[in-house]
Amino acid sequence: MSGVSGRSGVVVAGVGMHPWGKWGRSFVEYGVHAARRALADAGVAWADVDLVVGGETVRNGYAGYVAGSTFAQALGWNGARVATSYAACATGAQAIDTARARILAGLSDVALVVGADTTPKGFLKPNAGERWDDPDWLRFRVLGMTNPMYFALYARRRMDLYGATSEDFAAVKVKNARHGLANDNARYRKEVSVEDVLASAVVSDPLHLLDICATSDGAAAVVLVSDACAARLGLADPVRVAAVSTVTPTYPQAVIDMPLLATDSTAAVAAGERTFKESIGAAAYEEAGIGPEDVDVAEVYDLSTALELDWMEDLGLCARGEAESLLRAGETTIGGRIPVNPSGGLACFGEAVPAQAIAQVCELAWQLRGQATGRQVEGARVGVTANQGLFGHGSSVVLVR
């Protein structure tokens, strides 16, 4: 495919973030900060917002409140409709899709989407209590499988299948750390070397501490508007949401997927043409009317350095087993053929679960506008994101200009 078609009617009018870190305050404060920045960026008054969609977090013994109405109340009740989305790490993309759908249906003109989180120290873990039908709880109780253990399994798979090395994984961190130096919203803004990564503690072999993202506090927000509203705001050549993929897996799943403990059997039903992660990007490309060859910049879910390499192939940005070659050739850095994570990625931000898919959209909006000072991908017109939420939540957003 070539060119960009996509569905018209949804414009990214404004984006905003709260810097990520460990601030020790309520997620509501972070979300309000990001929302106000997005509204100011769009030139839209809070009173004119007719829909608020909040990204919720459900973890660590509290329900995360009812995020849509929580943010609406904190900003000051204005009569807007509200909705709340929860899809683990895909929450932000699902929230964006909810807002986009209402705009396309003619039920909303100006929508504010907000995701924010206050995270615990250390590994993310399920709430207390026994839930024997919950695979996320079972992986901790039965196997003691924290997230980094899954990341390590995926990393070992790359090493066995494609000859990836620990130095390759470290090079991903080096690249993203360099990108993040120019990002005021990033938590970690320090250059590192391959030697620094390899000298950091081994968390789950073959991954070191600097190969794995932290948990963070932070927030991101976007203002989505209809074509008619964009015209009233005088937005010429705006950034548009061309696609949002929220696909689920297809049986059988022949590749292990967190938090599952095993794969499906292919004895009776053959494995499909695509893996689940491959289907996420494929659905987004199909809806946008483009192919991976049209993508200028990508923001992907680098929970670990090795996972960034997997996502490059899952999104079709290169063939299977070629991600390391592109990395080594400098093609995934700013100035290369397909820059990946020019924001610095989760390597520089850490996880703030309901916010991270929205944060990726913020970065791509800045890139496509030419406003990513110090980390700009020159001439970027098409960007793609990738996330994945537990329990079969796919997440990919295509932005075009």
pLDDT at residue 248 tops 80: yes
From residue 199, alpha-carbon distances to 42, 194, 205, 215, 344 in Å are 45, 9, 13, 21, 21
pLDDT at 257: 87
Q: Which two tokens stand for residue 300?
A: 């992907």
pLDDT at 5: 46
pLDDT at 333: 98
Does 89 qualify as catalytic in the annotation?
yes
pLDDT at 252: 95
Between CA 129 and CA 213 the distance in angstroms is: 27
Q: What is the mean pLDDT of residues 214-237?
A: 96
DSSP state, 19?
E
The answer to whether 3 and 20 are in contact (CB under 8 A) is no
Whole-number percent of the chain with pLDDT over 70 = 96
Q: What is the mean pLDDT of residues 18-43?
A: 95
Q: Which CATH architecture has domain 11-400?
A: 3-Layer(aba) Sandwich (3.40)
pLDDT at 133: 87
pLDDT at 6: 46
Between CA 245 and CA 230 the distance in angstroms is: 24
pLDDT at 143: 85
The answer to whether 40 and 14 are in contact (CB under 8 A) is yes
Q: Is the peptide bond before 206 cis (omega within 30 degrees of 0)?
A: yes
- Give pLDDT tens digits for 256-294: 888 888 899 999 999 999 999 999 999 999 999 999 999
Instruction: Please report, as a single letter, which amino acid is at residue 68.
Output: G
Kindly indicate the confidence band of residue 59, based on its pLDDT and cuts at 50, 70 and 90: low
pLDDT at 128: 74
Phi/psi at 149 (nearest 5 deg)?
-70, -40
Q: Where are the domains of the chain?
A: 11-400
Phi/psi at 89 (nearest 5 deg)?
-70, -10
Q: Which residue has the higher pLDDT, 398 or 389?
A: 398
pLDDT at residue 211 tops 70: yes
pLDDT at 8: 61
Q: What is the mean pLDDT of residues 180-208?
A: 97
